[in-house]
Amino acid sequence: MDNNTQIELRVLIQRLLGMPENSVRPADTSQPTTGSNYAIVQQTDMVGQGWAGGYKHARQSSIVTLTIDFMGDNAAHYANQLKIAMQTPYALDMLFDLDVGYLSCSDPRNLTALELERTKRFQVRLQLSYLTSYAMPDTVPDEYHDETNIETVPIGMIVEP
């Protein structure tokens, strides 16, 4: 999943849950240590499901798994609300504009015991479908074609030499 799509998804999660600005962050940035509610979003898996295309363009559908850790006093509330919020018409429209579709959201897991400072921590796994598009760059000449001369025959036809 490209970086811009990930940013838009974090903004969408923040808006849907009414979280403070810049409180939904990528996992590879520094996080506050205490006193605030925030979420950490990490793409943990992306599995291609199939592709289609032609001579110069192709599209691939993938299932993307995001792991979201909610931290702070309201962590349980935000984690429980996400599953519902992602299925609202507003969220589905916003996802559609990003070439993303909602598939599922796990029930929250309480991971508070893993925190040294006993900050409340709840985790969900969000699965989305994602459509990647490819367009051949201009550096590939238009005249390029396959020189193998393989003839294609519709299924069920018999071809005699």
Domain ranges of the chain: 3-28+58-135
For residue 146, pLDDT beyond 60: no
Lowest mean pLDDT among 15-24, 123-132, 149-158: 149-158
Q: Which has more confidence, 161 or 3?
A: 3
Q: What is the pLDDT of residue 62?
A: 86
State yes or no: pLDDT of 8 exceeds 70: yes
* The Cα angle at residue 87 between residues 86 and 90, in degrees rounded to 5: 80
d(C-alpha 104, C-alpha 31), whole Å = 27
- pLDDT (0 to 100) of residue 65: 95
Q: Which residue has the higher pLDDT, 82 or 139?
A: 82
The closest of 125, 97, 89, 86 to 109, measured between CA atoms, is 125
Residue 161 has pLDDT above 60, yes or no: no
Displacement of CA 25 from its chain's centroid (Å): 14
Q: Does the pLDDT at position 160 exceed 70?
A: no
Helix, strand, coil share of the chain (percent; to 5): 25, 35, 40
Strand partners, 122: 70, 110
Provide the token pair at 54: 């032609």
Tokens of 72: 């702070």
pLDDT in the model for residue 116? 73
Q: Give residue for tokens 């994602």.
A: 130
42 three-state secondary structure: strand
